[in-house]
Amino acid sequence: MAGIRTYLESLNARSDVFDDPILLPGGGEISTLREAGDYIIALREHGLPHWQVAMRCLIDAAEHGGILMMAEIAMRRALSHGRPKPAPEPRQLAPAPRRKRAKVHRMTR
């Protein structure tokens, strides 16, 4: 973990900003890579695989020009790890198509 701490210390104050802030379970939000890294470091369970993946994505985005959206997605997935997936909304059936009336034909002789 010492490498991650030195990495976080080396980040400048102007860290990359996520497109949308990430809401935390206890209130508050994370909006930069640095805030996300500090949050993970402060966790007791930061050694779990889903947090390790999130930290790897944060480091890739900051140091190696990785994709910032991947870091954001990894953080959101790590925060929601272990929670049940929300139930899908019931689909509404489309109304039945309207049918044309049958034409009436008369037979003539």
Give the model's confidence band at 10: pLDDT under 50 very low, under 70 low, under 90 confident, else very high: low
Name the one residue in this structure whose structure tokens are 């991947």: 70
Residue 12 confidence (pLDDT): 47
Domain ranges of the chain: 2-79
Q: Which residues pair with 17 in a beta bridge?
A: 32
Average pLDDT over residues 81-97: 82
- Stated pTM of the model: 0.64
- In angstroms, the CA 59 to CA 106 distance is 81
Residue 51 confidence (pLDDT): 92
Count CB atoms within 10 A of the CB of residue 46: 16
More confident residue, 5 or 31: 31
Residue 14 confidence (pLDDT): 43
